[in-house]
Amino acid sequence: METKVFQTSEIKEAAALIKQGELISFPTETVYGLGADAKNEQAVQKVYQAKGRPSDNPLIVHVASKEEVVDYVKEIPEVAETLMNHFWPGPLTLIFKVKEGVFANTVTAGLDSVAIRMPDNEATLILIKEANTPLVGPSANTSGKPSPTMALHVYHDLKGKIAGILDDGETGVGLESTVLDITDPKNPTILRPGGISKAELEKEIGFVTVDQHLVSSDETPKAPGMKYKHYSPNEPVIIVDGDQQLWQNAVNHYQSLGEKIGLMANDEIIAGFSNQDIESFSLGEKGNIQTASHRMYAGLRHFEKTKATIILAEPYPENGLGIAYMNRLKKSAANQYYQKNE
């Protein structure tokens, strides 16, 4: 199958393919999604196949308005109303009790709940309206790989397997949406940290819980997707948490083992290695978590095209967006840190 790249002037053509049950990758403010008609069982099954996604991992349904949600869910709790008004369109996914028979069965992977979000991207909102149906949209990467933040990433992973990609340049946030379970409205629970922080949510609705499995990762989390190997580039990733001297020690250590280093860090750290022949990818100026989050997935994918055999990556403080950044980075590194005494 030829995978066509559509410009934002060609949304109608892309929407027509969705209506025919084909897969179209769409841009959002977080990462690119892999779109299909959420009411078409065969189309949804093709999404799982194209990604190589385990079938027990349910999909997010993307809508073009708050108003249509009432057609899809059993009830809209007051907290959901408040959150939708405040954060939609935007990087917040809400888990509702699903109405039976609305979506294709495989969308919810057998659960009695459904994840819904309204993405903040004009082209994609038009695509959903033109297709006249909500779209499932897992991140448009091969299962286990870093999520795509540009059309080129999608093309790399899924060319020949999907009908098209709607190209709208780079995504904004760069990390996926926050997934919040509000099926028990008295106990809203973050199942996956993301573009909207816990503090931002609490400002609107009061106390928010964080699924403990996200903290101690030895058990199965409630967001089924969080249990799988995730965000892994071809090269192993090691987190280096320390000053320039520690970075130098880490570089020396892995070079002595015969590794070719890829540095993924802020400009200052990279500048410290400018006289050495080392691959690097900048996460932006020191301390800027927005830029680091925006660039991280592109960085993880970058080194595939270089001679690097190992990626040394910079951690950020675990607050605000930094919680989502570290959640993804630790998974891509399988929690491996460079130890000072190595």
Chain positions contacting ligand TXA, by CB under 6 A = 28, 30-31, 33, 57-60, 91, 93, 95, 108, 111, 113-115, 119, 137-139, 176-177, 179, 191-192, 222-226
- Residues near Mg ion (CB under 5 A): 139
Decide which of ligand TXA, Mg ion, none touches 93; Cβ closer than 5 to 8 Å per partner kind: ligand TXA
Least distance in angstroms from the C-beta of 232 to Mg ion: 12
Q: Nearer Cβ to Mg ion, position 198 or 230?
A: 230
Residue in the structure block whose two tokens are 């996914």? 93
Position of minimal CB gap to Mg ion: 139
Q: Nearer Cβ to Mg ion, position 139 or 282?
A: 139
Decide which of ligand TXA, Mg ion, none touches 114; Cβ closer than 5 to 8 Å per partner kind: ligand TXA
3-state SS of the chain is CCCEEECHHHHHHHHHHHHCCCCEEECCCCCCEEEEECCCHHHHHHHHHHHCCCCCCCCEEECCCCHHHHHCECCCCHHHHHHHHHHCCCCEEEEEEECCCCCCHHHCCCCCEEEEECCCCHHHHHHHHHHCCCEECCECCCCCCCCCCCHHHHHHHHCCCCCEEECCCCCCCCCCCEEEECCCCCCCEEEECCCCCHHHHHHHHCCCEECHHHHCCCCCCCCHHHHCCCCCCCCCEEECCCCHHHHHHHHHHHHHCCCCEEEEECHHHHHCCCCCCCEEEECCCCCCHHHHHHHHHHHHHHHHHCCCCEEEECCCCCCCHHHHHHHHHHHHCCCCECCCCC
Q: Nearer Cβ to ligand TXA, position 31 or 43?
A: 31
Q: Nearer Cβ to ligand TXA, position 125 or 240?
A: 125
Decide which of Mg ion, ligand TXA, none touches 59; Cβ closer than 5 to 8 Å per partner kind: ligand TXA
Q: Nearer Cβ to ligand TXA, position 282 or 295?
A: 295
Least distance in angstroms from the C-beta of 286 to ligand TXA: 27
Least distance in angstroms from the C-beta of 143 to Mg ion: 8
Decide which of Mg ion, ligand TXA, none touches 148; Cβ closer than 5 to 8 Å per partner kind: none
Least distance in angstroms from the C-beta of 27 to ligand TXA: 9
Q: Nearer Cβ to Mg ion, position 139 or 280?
A: 139
Least distance in angstroms from the C-beta of 145 to Mg ion: 9
Position of minimal CB gap to ligand TXA: 225
